[in-house]
């Protein structure tokens, strides 16, 4: 096996008796095989590395840049609003208040206690009133209404 054939076999990661026999005999090829193996191990190790510190650092820098931009915009908006509010307040305070007409206040008169007699009312006997009986008569003319009084008490002076 020549050195070129051995190199190709190593690149294909073929391990055979002829390759091992050539490596034991050829120092150059043996050195190259060791180097390729070291590289392969290094690549495998690199592939499994999660790189946490690098990612976190990059993302923090991105957030910081964004936050800086928003903070400046917020500050500008706040300044504008505060200036606007201050100007309105200044206008309100400087507006002259119209004078109101005098208010008339009515004062309620003091309560005057009403004297109440505390004597018990005497129970009186029911008075028999000679109320006449008023009878409405039926008429054929709706424009004529006739009432007749019955049993009216009369007297002579």
Partner 1 sequence: MRMRRLLWTLIGAAALVCAQEKKEPQREKISQKFMEVKYADANRIASLIQTPGVSIRSDDSMHAIIVLGTSETVAALEDMVKKLDVAPPNVELTVYLVSGSSQGAADELPQDLASAAKQLHGLFQYKRYRMLESFVLRGRDGREGNTSGILPGSSSAYDFRYRSATVSGGTPRVVHINGMGLLVRTPTGGRNQKGEMEYRNAGLNTDIDVAEGQKVVVGKSSVNGSDEAMILIVTAKVVQ
Where would I find the H helices in 95-132? Answer: none
d(CA 85, CA 30): 83
User: Please, which residue, 20 or 139, has the CB nearer to partner 1?
Assistant: 139
| Residue 88 vs 120, nearer CB to partner 1 | 88
- Residues 6 or more apart from 10 whose CB is under 8 A from it? 19, 29, 32, 33, 36
Cβ atoms of 19 and 36 within 8 Å: the answer is no
Residue among 28, 89, 111, 112 that touches partner 1 (CB under 8 A): 89
41 binds partner 1 (CB under 8 A): no
Contact call for residues 33 and 25 (beta carbons, < 8 A): no
Residue 137, H or E segment: strand 133-137
Query: Quick check: helix, strand or coil at residue 28?
Result: helix
Residues 138-157 that bind partner 1 (CB under 8 A): 139-141, 143-150, 152, 154-157
State the binding string over 49-88 for partner 1 (x if CB under 8 A, else -).
----------------------x--xx-xx--xx-xx--x
Q: Which of 17, 52, 96, 101 binds partner 1 (CB under 8 A)?
A: 101
Residues that bind partner 1 (CB under 8 A): 71, 74-75, 77-78, 81-82, 84-85, 88-89, 92, 98, 100-101, 103-104, 132, 134, 137, 139-141, 143-150, 152, 154-157
């Amino acid at each position: 096996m020549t050195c070129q054939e051995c190199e190709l076999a190593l690149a294909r990661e073929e391990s055979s008796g002829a390759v091992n026999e050539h490596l034991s005999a050829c120092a150059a090829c043996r050195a190259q095989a060791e180097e390729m193996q070291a590289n392969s191990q290094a690549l495998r190790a690199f592939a499994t590395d999660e790189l946490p510190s690098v990612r976190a650092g990059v993302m923090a820098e991105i957030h910081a840049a964004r936050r800086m931009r928003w903070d400046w915009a917020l500050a500008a908006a706040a300044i504008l609003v505060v200036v606007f509010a201050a100007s309105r307040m200044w206008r309100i305070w400087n507006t002259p208040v119209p004078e109101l007409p005098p208010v008339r206040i009515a004062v309620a008169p003091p309560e005057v206690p009403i004297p109440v007699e505390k004597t018990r009312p005497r129970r009186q006997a029911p008075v028999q009133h000679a109320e006449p009986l008023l009878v409405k008569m039926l008429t054929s003319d709706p424009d004529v209404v006739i009432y007749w009084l019955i049993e009216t008490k009369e007297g002579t002076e």
